[in-house]
Structure 1
Amino acid sequence: MNRESFTRWLTEKLLPNIPANSVIVFDNAPYHSVQEDKTPTKSSSKKDIMAWLTKKGINHEATARKFDLFDLVLLHKP
């Protein structure tokens, strides 16, 4: 199971057929929740860090070291 399959099953199969006032309980399977716009970590690639900074409109030098780019992430993370 993956996020796409789960979402399709949920929206096309379960929700249209579930009785009113039903309760749905999800466990902590990775495909049940997805963090969008995930903040990079120290182990993220330089490319991913730069992409996040660009998406956030944070100026950075393409020639900067990964360590320096990650400092910018720490300054601007939510």
Structure 2
Amino acid sequence: MQLLVDRMPSVDYDDRLHGEKFVITFSWGANSDPVPTQVVALYKYKGDVLVAGTRDKNWSSYEQAVEAGKEISDKFVAKYWQD
């Protein structure tokens, strides 16, 4: 019997440039795998939730997956905000 692992929660993140608020969430693989298979960065805009971006697994830990979500969020802001 496979052991189930606790899934880590979504992460609230304020981007580094403007403090825009994102939620970094995850897709998971096998029940015994503690590392997410995909990262999804969500952004709330005028009452709608937008997918700022996704990235498939190229990391080996939950912490690295969170960092990938932060990079997605930062790139989204850099692309769509004009300073």
TM-score by length of 2: 0.26
TM-score by length of 1: 0.27
